[in-house]
Amino acid sequence: MELRKLVYELISISVIHRYRITKAASGAGLYFGQPMILEYVKDHDACTQKELAAAMHISPASVAVTIKRIEKAGLITRHPDTSDSRKNHLSVTPKGLDSLKEFRKICDATDEAMFRGFSTEERETLHNLLVRLHKNLDSEKLTKEEINKVLHPRKEEL
HSE, CB side, 13 Å, CA atoms: give it for residue 69: 15
The amino acid at 82: T
Q: What is the mean pLDDT of the chain?
A: 90
Q: Give the domain extent around 129.
A: 120-158
Mean pLDDT, range 110-116, rounded to an integer? 96
Evaluate whether 53 touches 60 at the Cβ level (below 8 Å): yes
Mean pLDDT, range 27-41, rounded to an integer? 90
84 and 139, same structural domain?
A: no
Residue 52 has pLDDT above 90, yes or no: yes
105 and 155, same structural domain?
A: no
pTM over 0.75: yes
Mean pLDDT, range 34-49, rounded to an integer? 95
138 and 81, same structural domain?
A: no
Taking the CA atoms of residue 129, residue 148, residue 30 and residue 74 in that order, the dihedral angle to the nearest 10 degrees is 140
101 and 29, same structural domain?
A: yes
Percent of the chain with pLDDT over 90: 66
Nearest-Å Rg of the Cα atoms of the chain is: 18
Interacting residues of 157 by C-beta distance below 8 A, sequence separation 6+: 149
Q: Check residue 152 and give its pLDDT.
A: 64
Q: Alpha-carbon distance 79 to 85, whole Å?
A: 10
Q: How confident is the model at residue 158 (pLDDT cuts 50, 70, 90)?
A: very low
Number of domains in the chain: 2
Q: 10 Å Cβ neighbour count for 19?
A: 11
